[in-house]
Chain A
Amino acid sequence: MSTITVEHVARIEGHGTITVELDGDRVRDVRMDIIEASRFFESMVVGRRYDEVSLITSRICGICSPNHAVTALKAVEAAFGIDVSPRTVALRKLLIYGSYLQNHATHLYVFAAPDFVGLPSVFPLAATNPDIVERALLIKKTGNELTTLVGGRPVHPVTAVVGGFTAEPSVADLKSFRARLVSLIGDTVATAELFNSFAVPDFATEGDMLALVDDAEYAFYDGQIGALTSGARRPIADYRAVITESVVSHSNAKHSSHNGRPFMVGSLPRLNLSAQLLMPRAKAVAAELGLAAGSRNPFLNNPAQAVELVDACERCITIIDELLAMGGSSRPVTVLPREGSGASATEAPRGTLYHGYSFDANGIVTAGDVITPTAQNLGNLDADMRAIAPSLVGLPKDEFLFMMEKLVRAYDPCLSCSVH
């Protein structure tokens, strides 16, 4: 028996190793070893004040920190029975979409695109295809500036607190940002066309696909938990009954299952469950890319991310229009801690993110629970690698491993998130 590995897979966040065990030409096992060290966030918040929770747990991830912050705040508010203003909700949505634009542009252009054009990184592209790199940086920058507009900076925004915001953007800034989003739509459509031009391997995952669903909108801020195959619709508060976590020996990240099977979260599951609720231009682009029909190919997660870039631009324009029209205040509402538990979920760029906390009567955390998108995806990724490997064993070793890495990167994993 022989073993081949890719140590410290590049162009992903965090440290992971792909291990392939071969018995002659037969693949005995393929797996993603998560060597990123455990970080213990769920135990670190115990004993902390309710108003410190989002600051601490948002440090799980520097990419989707707005999602972690907002999800933690919503869980605290659920525990205390706090309703926030529509204005606060709208601003939080912008904060989250800032991280979508930033994450999807970074992942598509910096992490994934080199795979499709046969380069080790995006840097050589700056010399050969400066227009592509400029477009990537423009989308990413616009996302960062959206998060900065609402939150004060692109990584770990500072203004979102329990009950509301400590500061909000001016009307003039919102209006000028709206104009930039209008002009960015063309760049996001071009991104979708670029990824549509890349050939993807023919493959279908056997796992289910989970995402938040909502009758009213392409769900990302709230809703119910939806499953594509099982057809389940469950309240977010029941997430522990929908998702079962288990400890596996080769990974410091837990694996997840739904109805006893691994499943996928992320852009493709969201698109499969909510395609009819995409904004008009995004819906047209999804149709052009042939993505509206419940695709099971995880390699199509990249084109699905591109569709969501278009959708994010259109939706943020709508949200800004609502903000400009609605009035009201985002000042933090009065917070009265009470004993109890609260759970919440949002759709982070990489998939559904769950936070749950319990508090004593003084608002001190007694228990914390976080399930990140990557922790949900790792079991399905292992299953997909095992499923695709036998069809690739004839390839030279480099190409075989390259395909494995490409599959890993299609999932856009965040391993530092996964070992939170």
Chain B
Amino acid sequence: MAPRVVFVGLASDFGCQVQITNMEDHLLDVLGTIDLVYWQLASSGHMPDAYDVAVIEGAVTTDEHEALLKRVRETAAVVVAIGACAVLGGIPALAGTGDLEQRFATVYGAGAPVARGRRAPAPVESVISVDYHVPGCPIDPAEFVRVLNRAVRGLADRPAEDPLCALCKTNENLCLLDSGQPCLGLITRTGCGAICVSRGRACTGCRGLSPVANLAAARVVFADKGLDPARIDQALSIYNSYGEAAR
């Protein structure tokens, strides 16, 4: 029997689900290998009571999200987190620092009637265990298919671990640090194809820190290139502000 798959959207811009629909040529092939039982973005109907694989996009930002995730974890044999929001907290986590009341006041005006169980944004893994990770902002759909295949076949999660820099060397990219750009490729988890740096845009760390990242050494490299080492933390805080204090 084909594995029954649900897509769950928490707080996000839906960009990762859109990336999946962007596999135009392969979308129907992929859908042919799974039994897609719930995808609110694309179809009417309600989330079923039984399924095998849950694919989750977005950060946890409300009490309802937490309750939903706990239900999902009890039901699904396999949980896949996709995108920087779900994997890292990502850009939504930028709203997790400082005073939440003050943020409400800034956006809606003081005393506005719009609470709704709001909490500091956090990655999925802060609430439930996650079996497979597809990082990136947005995800690379090809990597998603690879990970989904591993998930439905029961193969172990094998995320890339090296920093991005090695890939840039392979791609023969000019180092952006040499032109004064605060590129995070030397500490960011590889696997993106260096899509930004290959087009002259500095890496912003959307795939999270490589497990072998050496932040102290990266600060020395920044200083050697004439960049303020504090720019590493500034740039890193865009996607990696969740749990920053713990680093």
Q: Closest approach, in angstroms, between the C-beta of B56 and any C-beta of chain A?
A: 14
Across the interface, which residues of A come within 8 angstroms of B210, CB to CB? none
The docked-state distance in angstroms from the alpha carbon of A252 to that of B118 is 11
Closest CB of chain B to A138's CB: distance in Å? Answer: 8
In the complex, the chain B residue whose C-beta lies closest to that of A370 is B107
Interface positions of A (Cβ within 8 A of B): 8, 10-11, 13-15, 35-40, 42-44, 46, 49, 52, 55-56, 59-63, 65, 106, 110-111, 114, 120-123, 126, 137-138, 140-141, 144, 152-156, 158-159, 161, 166-167, 247, 249, 251-252, 254, 416-417
Nearest residue, chain B, Cβ from A417: B13
Question: Can you give 24 A-B contacts (C-beta < 8 A)?
Answer: A8-B46, A10-B42, A10-B43, A11-B42, A36-B11, A43-B106, A49-B234, A52-B238, A59-B13, A60-B13, A62-B13, A65-B15, A110-B21, A110-B42, A138-B24, A141-B22, A141-B24, A144-B24, A154-B18, A158-B196, A158-B199, A166-B199, A247-B113, A247-B114
User: Are B199 and A159 in contact, with the CB atoms below 8 A?
Assistant: yes
Question: Which residue of chain B has the shortest Cβ distance to A114 in the bound complex?
Answer: B44
Select B42's contact among A39, A121, A166, A249, beta carbons within 8 Å: A121
- Residues of chain A contacted by B43 (CB below 8 angstroms): 10-11, 120-123
- Are the CB atoms of B195 and A38 closer together than 8 Å? no
Q: Which 10 A-B pairs have the closest CB atoms?
A: A62-B15, A166-B200, A121-B43, A40-B95, A10-B44, A167-B199, A62-B13, A141-B24, A120-B44, A43-B106
Taking CB atoms, residues of chain A closer than 8 Å to B9 are 14-15
Chain B residues numbered 5-48 whose CB sits less than 8 Å from any CB in chain A: 9, 11-19, 21-22, 24-25, 27-28, 31, 36, 40-46
Bound CA–CA A44/B98 (angstroms): 10
Q: Are A40 and B41 in contact (CB under 8 A)?
A: no
- With A152-B196, A416-B12, A416-B13 as given contacts, are A38 and B107 in contact (CB-CB < 8 Å)? yes
In the complex, what residues of B have CB within 8 A of residue A126's CB?
A: 28
A61 and B31 contact, CB distance less than 8 A: no
Say which residue of A120, A155, A159 sits within 8 Å of B22 (CB atoms): A155
The residue that A44 contacts in the complex, of B17, B61, B95, B113, with Cβ under 8 A, is B95
